[in-house]
Structure formats: C-alpha cells, structure tokens
C-alpha cells in the first residue's frame, strides 16, 4: 500500500500526517528527513511495547539516533502528575537537550502524556505522534491538545502544543481489541455527521457491524477523518470557535461517563450514545428533519450500544452535565446537527426538552 500524506496547515507550526501500512520502521528515516538531530525518548505503554517497541527502536537506531524507551502502565491512570514527573526525570537522566525529541508510540493516553512532557521539558522540545489506536489515529494525535488529568477532572492540566509529524501505521490496528476499534469508529462517524455528507454516505454503505473490513477501507476512513480534523484545527487551533464542533456527541457522552464514574463505558461507547441523544435533541427542537434522524440512528445502532448500568438515573446524568468544560456560565453548550454533514453550536436548549430526552432515553435502554 502506498503512503499518503496531508498537511495540518498552521503557518510556522504546520506538520505532515503520513498514513501507510507496515512502515513503522521508516520512522528514523522520516525524522532524518525532517532534520531531527538530537536524542530521542520514546514513550509507550505496556501493551504496545511488546508489539511495536522493537520495530520502532530498530528504525531509529538504523537511522543513527541515540534513543531510549520508557514504558508506562496502560490506561487513563497514566495521565497523571506522577507519570509525567517520572518521564521528565528520565529525560533529564538521559541528558536530553533542546535538540532532543520525544516519540509518542501508543494510543491517546500515551500521546496526551508524551505531548505534555514534550511541552514542558526545557519549556518545550519537539515531539512526534505515532498513534496505534484508531481513536488516536483519527483524533487525539492531530491538533496538538496535550494533557494530564487532575483528580477532579479529565484533561485539566495541559497545553496546545503541536507535534512535528504524525506517522500512522495502519498495520497496528490489526492487534487492537475490537472494543477499542469501536471507540475510534464513533469518532469517525462523528466526522461524517459534522462536516461531510459524502463521507457519511460512504460509511453508511460500507461499515459492517463486526468492523472486519478491508485495509483500503481503513486507509480511506483514517485519511478522510484526518483531513477533516486538520481543516478544523487549521481554522481554529485553540478552540475559540469552530473547533468546538468536534465535540458533537461529547456533552451528553461526557455526562454519561461522569454519571458512571468513568468505569462503565469507554469513551467511544459514551460518545455513541451522546451522538444519538444530540441528534434526537436536534429533532425535538425542530432543527433536524425526521428522515435525517432516521439515517443517523440507523448508523449508530449498527455500531451497537452498550447496555446502561442498572439503576442509572436522570438526576445522575444531569449532575454529569454540570461539569461540562464547554459550559458557558449556567448555559449548556450543545453541538446539534441541522442536517447530515452540518452542525451548529446551540446554547439555548430548554431544560424541559432535555428532561424529556433523558427520561425517554432511560426508558428505551433500560
Ligand atoms: N488530545 C486530544 O485531542 C484527544 C482527543 C480524544 C481523546 N483524547 C484522549 O485519548 C485517550 C484515549 O485514547 P485511546 O482510546 O487511544 O486509549 P488508550 O491510549 O488507553 O489505548 C487503549 C488500549 O489499547 C491499547 N493499545 C494501543 N494500541 C494498541 C495496538 N495497536 N494493539 C493492541 N493494543 C493497543 C492500550 O495499551 C490501551 O490498553 C483519553 O485519555 C482521551 O482523553 C485526546
């Protein structure tokens, strides 16, 4: 499979996304081509290390780099001060200077944490993203949001700090558990609904519920998703306006995650429900027509919904909404579809409508 390339256009902070199959070992060569000179600290997690640690390190060493690898525990718990602190100490012990760089080899957890370390070490060293989950390939590796969590909230401590390169090896998806594949697919469907009707139609025609698809399918959907994310980020790097549309399905999705203490759903499972609820809300509010809602629902049901935990209440979901980061004062912010391929930001949704939406949802999925 030939590699494809696209650019995230951010003036002096622009960078390429290269998408290919089975080409992780070329990372060293790509970094040489970019003019990277210094030492490299590779950050990965305990699941990704045995699968891809060797080929990544081999490619870097063959290109003549002095590289060290750090392996963190897998999972959200690693987006912490203590994990960042250990990695910063490791960078110091490796005597990394301003020419040195960081490689994030893994999913969104590794990418967010490694990016945060890169943004803070010596006030910022270069880093590259080598995403190995579908979610990281289509979403978290592009756009420069880097963060760790605070015990009181996710992604509270962080920065906008762009990588120098994103290298996406689609072969890594072959070892990804299907539940993780599904979580990324929710974001892929999101791109179709928010910005690209013909991409949505492609997914509608080709996506099968098992997610066992041809390589070319994955190449196409990762490429299109990256194009859309890159366009939105280029227009609004620091989320002053349009970048907020990427949060479609996330207001109610986050509320569901918070209401279940981040234990029951993974992110994509919650976002899938969030997109269903936001689309229904748009229809109830007279923004989205019935036929479009039907098509969106059909797509989301095809991806499958996880059962709700027993005893989940409307009050718990509404409590979860209180902590939405996008809230403007007392007003909740919803990204709602006006048609497939176009969304708008709304802050004036009546509370009574929201109550009805949540009550009906709980009855249906109980
Ligand atoms: N920065 C952003 O713009 C942005 C956007 C969306 C999400 N995020 C963040 O991303 C994180 C979630 O990312 P994620 O869903 O990739 O989770 P993750 O990084 O925890 O990866 C999911 C699981 O898959 C494993 N894994 C990774 N690659 C694998 C592979 N190729 N084969 C087998 N196993 C593999 C990991 O070890 C982990 O157990 C969250 O912390 C979220 O806040 C950030």
- Can you give the CATH number for the domain in which 109 is found? 3.40.50.1970
Q: Is residue 317's pLDDT more than 80?
A: yes
d(CA 72, CA 75): 9
Q: Look at residues 302, 334, 344, 335 and name the one whose alpha carbon lies nearest to residue 200.
A: 302
- Shared domain check, 255 and 163: no
pLDDT of amino acid 331 = 84
Angstrom distance (rounded) from CA 174 to CA 134:
10
359 or 330, greater pLDDT: 359
Atom of ligand 1 nearest to the CA of 172: 31
Backbone angles phi, psi at 121, to 5 degrees: -65, 125
Residues 184 and 244 in one domain: yes
Residues 110 and 245 in one domain: no
Q: Element (H or E) spanning 258, and its range?
A: helix 250-259
Which residue's CA is the closest to the ligand 1 atom numbered 42? 108
Instruction: Check residue 167 and give its pLDDT.
Output: 98
User: Beta partners for 103?
Assistant: 42, 128
Query: Which two structure tokens, joined as six digits, stand for 208?
Result: 């099968």
247 part of the active site: yes
pLDDT value of position 322: 82
Nearest-CA residue for atom 14 of ligand 1: 108
* pLDDT tens for each residue of 260-294: 988 999 989 999 999 999 999 999 999 999 999 99
Pairing between β-strand 153-160 and β-strand 165-169 as defined by DSSP bridges: unpaired
Tokens of 235: 């227009």
Of ligand 1's listed atoms, the one at least distance from the Cα of 51 is 32
Split at pLDDT 50, 70, 90, the class of 160 is very high
What does the pLDDT look like over 234-269, one tens digit per residue? 999 999 889 999 999 999 999 999 999 889 999 899
Residues 72 and 62: beta-carbon distance below 8 Å: no
Q: Is the pLDDT of residue 329 over 90?
A: no
Domain that holds residue 132: 4-176
Provide the pLDDT for residue 326.
73
My answer on whether 112 and 101 are in the same domain is yes
- The H or E element that residue 60 is part of is helix 54-62
Give yes or no: residues 186 and 281 share one domain: yes
Please report the pLDDT score of residue 357 as a whole number.
97
Is 229 an active-site residue? yes
252 and 143 together in one domain: no
Q: What's the confidence (pLDDT) of residue 288? A: 98
- Based on the structure, what is the number of domains in the chain? 2
pLDDT at position 115, please?
Answer: 98
C-beta separation of 320 from 267 below 8 A: no
Question: How far apart (Å, rounded) are the C-alpha atoms in residues 323 and 258?
Answer: 9
Check whether residue 158 and residue 250 sit in a common domain. no
Whether residue 153 is predicted with pLDDT greater than 90 in this model: the reply is no
- 187: annotated active-site residue: yes
What is the per-residue pLDDT across 45-101, written as a single tens digit (0 to 9) for each? 999 999 999 999 999 999 999 999 999 999 999 999 999 999 999 999 999 999 999
Q: Which of 148, 176, 204 is the last residue of a domain?
A: 176
- Whether the pLDDT of residue 177 is over 80: the answer is yes
Q: Whose CA is nearest to atom 39 of ligand 1?
A: 74
Place of tokens 């009906």: 360
Write down which residue in 123, 144, 176 finishes a domain. Answer: 176
CB 48 within 8 A of CB 110: yes
Known catalytic residue at 263? no
pLDDT category at 120 given cuts 50, 70, 90 is: very high
How far apart (Å, rounded) are the C-alpha atoms in residues 214 and 262?
32
Instruction: Indicate whether 168 and 236 sit together in one domain.
Output: no
DSSP 211-235: ----HHHHHHHHHHHHHHHHHHHHH
Distance 276 CA to ligand 1 centre (A): 23
Total-model pTM? 0.96
Q: Read off the CATH number of the domain in which 262 is found.
A: 1.20.1090.10
Domain end point (choices 176, 198, 222): 176
Say if residue 250 is in the same domain as residue 142.
no
Tell how far the Cα of 283 is from the centroid of ligand 1, in angstroms.
32
Which one from 25, 70, 180, 187 is the annotated catalytic residue? 187
Quick one: 259 and 197 in the same domain?
yes
Q: Which residues are CB-neighbours of 52 under 8 A, at least 6 positions away?
A: 24, 44, 105, 132, 172
Name the residue with the closest Cα to ligand 1, atom 44. Answer: 140
| The one catalytic residue among 46, 76, 231, 239 | 239
Same domain, 47 and 107: yes
Q: What's the rounded Cα separation, in Å, for the pair 17 and 168?
A: 7
Give 142-204 as a DSSP string.
Answer: SS-EEEEEETTEEEEEEEE---SEEEEEGGGGGGS-HHHHHHHHHHHHHHHHHH-HHHHHHHH
**Ligand 1 shell residues, CB under 6 Å:** 45, 47-48, 51, 74-76, 79, 106-110, 112, 132-133, 135-136, 139-140, 143, 145, 154-155, 172, 175-176, 180, 183, 267
From the candidates 47, 149, 247, 266, give the one annotated as an active-site residue.
Answer: 247
Can you state the angle between helices 314-322 and 351-365, rounded to 10 degrees?
Answer: 130
Q: What's the mean per-residue pLDDT of the chain?
A: 95
Helix, strand, coil fractions of the chain, as percent rounded to 5: 55, 20, 30
Same domain, 209 and 121: no
| Span of 229-233, 320-324, 350-354 with lowest mean pLDDT | 320-324
Choose among 233, 168, 230: nearest CA to 30: 168
Q: Whose CA is nearest to atom 7 of ligand 1?
A: 140
Q: Quote the Cα angle for 186-270-245, to 5°.
A: 60
């Amino acid at each position: 499979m030939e590699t494809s390339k696209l650019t995230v256009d951010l003036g002096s902070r622009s960078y390429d996304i290269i998408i290919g199959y089975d080409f992780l070992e070329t990372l060293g060569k790509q970094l040489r081509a970019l003019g990277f000179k210094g030492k490299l600290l590779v950050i990965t997690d305990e699941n990704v290390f045995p699968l891809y640690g060797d080929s990544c390190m081999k490619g870097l060493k063959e290109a003549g780099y002095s590289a060290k690898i750090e392996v963190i525990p897998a999972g959200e718990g690693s987006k912490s001060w203590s994990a960042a602190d250990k990695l910063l100490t490791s960078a110091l012990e490796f005597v990394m200077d301003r020419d040195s760089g960081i490689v994030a080899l893994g999913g969104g957890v590794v990418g967010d944490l490694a990016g945060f370390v890169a943004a803070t070490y010596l006030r910022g060293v270069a880093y590259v993203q080598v995403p190995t989950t579908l979610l990281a390939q289509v979403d978290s590796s592009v756009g420069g949001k880097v963060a760790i969590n605070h015990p009181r909230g996710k992604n509270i401590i962080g920065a906008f700090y762009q990588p120098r390169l994103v290298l996406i090896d689609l072969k890594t998806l072959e070892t990804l558990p299907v539940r993780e594949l599904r979580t990324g697919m929710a974001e892929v469907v999101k791109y179709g609904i928010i910005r690209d009707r013909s991409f949505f139609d492609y997914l509608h025609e080709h996506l099968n519920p098992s997610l066992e698809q041809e390589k070319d399918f994955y190449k196409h959907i990762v490429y299109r998703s990256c194009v859309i994310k890159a366009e939105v980020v280029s227009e609004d790097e620091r989320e002053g306006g349009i970048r907020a549309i990427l949060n479609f399905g996330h207001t109610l999705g986050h509320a569901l995650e918070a209401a279940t203490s981040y234990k029951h759903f993974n992110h994509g499972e919650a976002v899938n429900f969030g997109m269903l609820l936001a689309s229904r809300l748009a229809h109830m509010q007279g923004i989205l027509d019935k036929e479009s809602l039907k098509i969106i629902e059909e797509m989301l049901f095809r991806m499958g919904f996880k059962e709700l935990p027993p005893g989940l209440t409307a009050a718990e979901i509404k409590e979860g909404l209180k902590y939405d980061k996008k809230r403007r004062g007392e007003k909740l912010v919803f990204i709602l579809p006006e048609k497939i391929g176009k969304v708008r930001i709304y802050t004036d949704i009546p509370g009574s409508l929201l109550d009805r939406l949540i009550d009906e949802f709980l009855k249906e999925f109980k």
